């Protein structure tokens, strides 16, 4: 299993747009990407404009396929450049997973 977790901070006036985009992206992953296993995001209890996003894929190739799809292209070209902060926490293969 290949996973990525990142922290994003939106501009206050863009927070709801970010949440709605992530919901659409997650739905696209579950409906159209067979290699996508998880797509979740969590709030930061100390900052209402921060989210932690976790994505899991069958393997790194499935993640690379995900990057070719329309939602990722929109993320890369429109959403991500408009964020106040973006930080990858990890991006690697799992040491162990209950799903394997």
Of residues 79, 17, 66, the one with CA closest to residue 38? 66
The larger pLDDT score, comparing residue 4 to residue 99, is at: 4
Of residues 54, 43, 53, 50, the one with CA closest to residue 85? 50
Non-local CB neighbours of 18 within 8 Å, separated by 6+ positions: 8, 10, 51, 79, 83
Segment 71-79 shows an average pLDDT of 96
Please give the pLDDT value at position 99. 79
CATH of domain 2-93: 3.30.70.100
Non-local CB neighbours of 27 within 8 Å, separated by 6+ positions: none
Q: What are phi and psi of 82, to 5 degrees?
A: -90, 0
Please give the pLDDT value at position 47. 98
Condensed to tens digits (0 to 9), the pLDDT of residues 15-74 reads 999 999 999 999 999 999 999 999 999 999 999 999 999 999 999 999 999 999 999 999
């Amino acid at each position: 299993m290949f996973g990525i977790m990142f922290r994003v901070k939106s501009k206050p006036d863009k927070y709801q747009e970010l949440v709605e985009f992530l919901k659409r992206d997650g739905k696209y992953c579950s409906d159209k990407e067979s290699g996508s296993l998880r797509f979740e995001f969590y709030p930061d209890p100390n900052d209402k404009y921060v989210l932690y996003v976790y994505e899991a894929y069958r393997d790194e190739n499935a993640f690379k396929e995900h990057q070719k799809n329309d939602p990722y292209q929109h993320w890369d070209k429109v959403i991500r450049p408009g964020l106040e902060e973006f930080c990858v926490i990890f991006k690697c293969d799992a040491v162990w997973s209950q799903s394997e």
